[in-house]
A and B are shown apart, each in its own frame.
Chain A
Amino acid sequence: MSEARFDVEALLRTALTPVEPPETLSDRLERNLTELTDMAAEELAEWELSAMRDPRNWARPVAAATVIGVAGGALVVVRARQRSKKKQVTGLRALEQGLQDVVDRVGKTLDR
């Protein structure tokens, strides 16, 4: 590095000092950025609300609903089967009871 080049670098440092932006620019820019961020936040909130209206965003809720539906359906099936079993048990008991009644009646008749 030559002596002259050092001088040029020193001159450049003096000539190209950082420039403070005017306050009017800072104010305007901050206002615009605030408006932009507020707008973006509103858009996001609106999107979150409207997302459910768009069928393309239904995949996850539908999957969840399907799981719930399947689970609920399975529960219904289990309960139906349990009821059916209960009904079957009741039917056999009724038949058993009916047969017992017949046996009792026959026995009474024979006793006479």
Chain B
Amino acid sequence: MSATRDKVSLDAEFTELYRTHLRDVYSYAYYRIGNHHDAEDITEQTFLQAYRHFERAQREAHGRPLRPWLIRIAHNLAANYYRDRSRKPQTNLEDAGVLPAFHDTADLVEGREEVQHVLAGVAKLPEDRRDALIMRFALDMDNREIARALGRTDGATKVLIHRAIKQLEEELGNE
């Protein structure tokens, strides 16, 4: 009986996690992969995997937020996505590794050209730098959260973000 009760409360907590972070996971997947279709798949897989390991993750988090753990799952799935695409070059290679060329959100109509320049610049960054910028600016994660999601130290993450911004700045300055 107590196992059933635990299961009910665990499911309720997972539902809360899902509701709170669905947009984060989707945003990360979208900017990471570059198209809505695959971003949907990665988001779905992320939550299904998260559900399977939720109890252990909760136990090991010791009360810390689980968002970095969720994003890490999405990060690993995205890495697999690229690996699979490189094995199968016939399927939508133009999408892989390229951030979306167009934003269809209404608030980005103005300054579209500038935004496209920035997104193109972000797309040229090495994977870890690009990831860090997406987490910082699209998900508003702090250094500690990004560090946990990327499996790095806080210090290394701070340096990573600094270098990513610097590199982007140079690339945009050269255009």
Q: Which residues of A contact B (CB under 8 A)?
A: 4-5, 8-9, 11-22, 24-26, 28-29, 32-33, 36-37, 40-41, 44-45, 48
Interface of B, helix, strand, loop or mixed by DSSP = helix
Given A11-B118, A41-B7, also A33-B40 (CB < 8 A): no
Known: A5-B169, A15-B122, A37-B51. 9 other contacts (CB 8 A): A12-B118, A12-B122, A14-B108, A15-B103, A17-B105, A29-B22, A29-B43, A32-B48, A33-B51
B159 within 8 A of A: no
With A25-B40, A29-B47 given, is the CB distance from A9 to B165 under 8 Å? yes
Q: In the bound complex, do residue B44 and residue A22 qualify as a contact, i.e. CB atoms below 8 Å apart?
A: no
List B contacts of A5 (CB < 8 A).
165-166, 169
Question: Chain B, 121-137, contact with A by CB distance < 8 Å: what is the 0/1 string?
Answer: 01000000000011011
How far is the CB of B114 from the nearest CB of chain A, in Å? Answer: 6
Binding site for A on B (CB under 8 A): 3-4, 7, 11, 14-15, 18, 22-24, 26-27, 30-31, 36, 39-40, 43-44, 47-48, 51, 103, 105, 107-108, 111, 114-115, 118-119, 122, 133-134, 136-139, 165-166, 168-169, 172-173
Which secondary structure dominates where chain A touches chain B? helix
